[in-house]
């Protein structure tokens, strides 16, 4: 059986919004700003992080994660 490797850059694009549930009673929202490559050619996702709770929505600033780590944390399918 052959498996085709999925290119995560095809699944994550500027403007996309992803969520993940946190251990505390909150969710984290990530709005993708852009994807760039570092000097070794590893793609990184630059995203705006927002913490969402039952009675609040708080902007947490811009974060950067390698695309593989981002896809794992935010369950990109």
Ordered by start, the domain boundaries in the chain are 12-73
What is the rounded CA–CA span in Å between residue 54 and residue 34?
29
Q: Against a cut of 0.85, is the pTM above it? A: no
The mean per-residue pLDDT over the stretch 40-51 comes to 95
Overall size of the chain counted in residues: 77
**CB within 8 Å of 21: residues ≥ 6 apart:** 27
Write the CA distances from 19 to 7, 15, 36, 39, 53, integer angstroms.
20, 13, 21, 28, 12
Confidence of residue 52 (pLDDT cuts 50, 70, 90): very high
């Amino acid at each position: 059986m052959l498996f085709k490797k999925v290119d995560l850059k095809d699944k994550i694009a500027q403007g996309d919004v992803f969520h993940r549930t946190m251990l505390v009673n909150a969710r984290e929202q990530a709005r993708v700003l852009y994807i760039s490559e570092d000097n070794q050619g590893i793609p990184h996702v630059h995203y705006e992080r927002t913490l969402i709770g039952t009675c609040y929505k708080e902007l947490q600033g811009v974060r950067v994660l390698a695309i593989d780590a981002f896809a794992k944390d935010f369950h990109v399918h």
